[in-house]
């Protein structure tokens, strides 16, 4: 039996027109990455991608991605989604996303779809989405300075559960594997 190989595309929806407006207190990173309307559903997103593929690549492109195109994750709050497509045809979906220019809802805002990661596993795509969301929040806090907590609450809304947030100076990230040669020989008897 042959294993089907897929690619997972992590995509951000950016709103460049909102950042061009002279809003004094909103940092650019927040203006570009503002939340998407809750009316956006995975079904509408798939339909829009299929229409863009049909327009760009015709019946060939539409047939190539028809069986494998699927939205695996959609977050309107972070304007991020992950789609799955076969490995052989992920570039077709990427090109279609690059040519789309509005949110596929009634009277949708103008936007840009940016593919930020192509991965062979959904796990790595999810990890990248989490890493980028944390990085965006830290960058926004840095830009806002002292009034960061109150300003972010006014822009993004009050958080549902209050948990302490680590500042970027307190974040420590380690990447190690089980096969790290530095670990061998440390527990020896001799």
pLDDT at 167: 46
User: Regarding beta strands 70-75 and 80-86, do their DSSP bridges make them parallel or antiparallel, or are they unpaired?
Assistant: antiparallel
User: Cβ(84)–Cβ(70) under 8 Å?
Assistant: yes
118/91 Cα distance (integer angstroms): 10
pLDDT at 3: 85
Q: Can you list the domains of the chain with their CATH numbers?
A: 6-159 (3.30.70.3250)
Q: What is the 3-state secondary structure (H, E, C) of 96-118?
A: HHHHCCECCCCCCCECEEEEEEE
| pTM, entire model | 0.72
pLDDT at 22: 62
**pLDDT tens digit at each of 190 positions of the chain:** 788 899 999 999 998 876 566 655 666 777 777 888 888 999 999 999 999 999 999 999 999 999 899 999 999 888 999 999 999 999 999 999 999 998 888 888 899 999 999 999 999 999 999 998 888 888 877 777 756 566 555 555 555 554 444 444 444 444 444 444 554 444 444 4
99, two tokens: 């040519």
């Amino acid at each position: 039996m042959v294993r089907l190989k897929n690619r997972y595309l992590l995509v951000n929806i950016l709103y460049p027109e909102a950042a061009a407006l002279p809003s004094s207190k909103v940092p650019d990173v927040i203006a570009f990455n503002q939340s998407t309307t809750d009316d956006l559903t995975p079904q509408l997103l798939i339909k829009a991608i299929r229409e863009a593929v049909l327009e760009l690549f015709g019946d060939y492109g539409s047939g190539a991605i028809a069986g494998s195109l699927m939205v695996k994750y959609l977050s309107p709050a972070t304007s991020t989604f992950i789609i799955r497509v076969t490995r052989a045809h992920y570039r077709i979906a990427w090109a279609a996303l690059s040519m789309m220019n509005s949110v596929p809802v009634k009277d949708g805002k103008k936007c840009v779809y940016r593919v930020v990661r192509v991965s062979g596993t959904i796990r790595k795509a999810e990890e990248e989405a989490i890493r980028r969301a944390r990085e965006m929040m830290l960058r926004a806090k840095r830009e806002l300075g002292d009034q960061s907590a109150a300003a972010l609450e006014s822009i993004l809304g009050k958080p549902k559960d209050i948990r302490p947030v680590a500042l970027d100076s307190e974040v420590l990230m380690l990447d190690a594997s089980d096969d790290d040669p530095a670990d061998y020989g440390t527990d020896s008897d001799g």
